[in-house]
Structure 1
């Protein structure tokens, strides 16, 4: 079936990658990080099939498909960053995160004339590249790709170091290992780009051989350590479960309750999840790695508040800060930006907590 042994390896890795992506996408204990990883692994697998496409000369029968996978590696840095961010902070994906794929779109824009050209022109392009007569756009991408990935690798290192206390030891080691593998692969790409000796057809084969091993590692880890791909927990949660008395009073120890509260309030300050009007207790628990019933217990014991009252306190405080400064926006727009869902609930909650209506409060602080 395949003339080259590496093509067989790539095909096996791609098949496993697609299966793993499907499992991660539909897992019953799913988390956002799994969705990101599923899409990333699927694209890696598609990229491996692209290598087979060229190595086995399939492109000669289907020249219209030439170039479709060329820029996929420019998206991998963004996927890895979002995966690390989601795993460590639980921050939801926003439309602004499209920015992390600007390199991919820039690459597509550069080669768009070739992507839209005739099959004959595409075959001629492959012949030029094979003869080491690469057009300037492709040479630029060859340099831009590892540079772009290196910048994001550094960003991932900073993100992981900054949030390592929010991740349990097993997951921190997992992310650390993935980061090392990612850096190793891009170091090989740098070598292939910088050293003329490596500018041979086999250079991509070495890179994609490492990509295949990476996919095998993901599959192995998902089988041997399935907890890595389930809803996140951290050491604090494990300690909580072990520390809860098995008899009588189920209250948490004071020192442990303080730790949970500190972790919760740090997340609320830094990630501002309360700005989402439909935030639920289970969503907050997932993003912090804390058990939802422990969050409720801590809020009731320490603040004497329900979950909704706790969120609204952050929303009202944020709005009070905004109202103390000159703003051209009307009150309702400011309220919605702070996570309130409607004008009526906003007015009622604000007056309950401050003793004044929003308009009265604004007048008093700006007088």
Structure 2
């Protein structure tokens, strides 16, 4: 029985990885999928090692991080890899999604849908993980973001208190977030496996945007070596940040232990949430802001209902390319605005950028439809 299962697993591995028919014209932009797998493995392993020394308690969490950094052998390395690995994870996933939008990968509907679920799970995992060091920004970030649930009519305040485990962010909240942060990556791993299952069933997209059974080669060895080059580059950049500028992507407020009696001058999340945070604070109405925050991520699911153009990607639509890159620049602007104080002219700029962010998705559909009519 064991021999049969072993042979079956080997056969599945060869059919799904080694002998997988892959378009020959895939570029370096298709490397980000495998890089995300590497980031997930790095985060899982480093996170498991960190849990061996971390204490989930409001009185000891901050000092347990100090203990990991100063007293545990190579604890500083594991902690900095985990901390900066999250940034590498989000850089890779944003590039992965950007490539998917540009080249029309959303035509594989189940693959895209699972990808959206993975993004939501990633963001949830990163948010609860950011609270665990129990620094000033961790505490106040958790307070502000969880309080957004109170905007939900009727049951909002009850949901907030249930999440907190009391009437404020406290030890119960920290314990719950620690549990969530430990469990959610394994759910994320399951979603990734399902994502890959649908991808292998539908086949990969390619820069031409036209599915064909011709010009296909085996995944191994051409693409495995290509992915290995990407692995080496990602590990190089990650280790460079860890060893040369480990706090480049962090917030200095988190070097202070959480104090409920002292509010930071400017509360902001990690850089990879700043575009959504700018959208949140650009809407004067609280419920409207929370709704816009959720839609800023959920809106990419709209591509599942787009099947208008004869060619799915933007290679054939020069005006769409210009529009796409202006959209990317707008996201970068939203990220920068999230770091600025809530005052003019940053408020006006944020509102204009928020409007442009949402209108892009609808105008891009109309532009594709226009080109289809001409073609």
Q: Computing the radius of gyration over CA atoms, which structure comes out larger, 1 or 2?
A: 1
Q: TM-score, normalised by structure 1?
A: 0.34
Q: TM-score, normalised by structure 2?
A: 0.33
Larger fraction in helix: 1
Higher RCO (CA-CA < 8 Å; seq separation 6+):
2
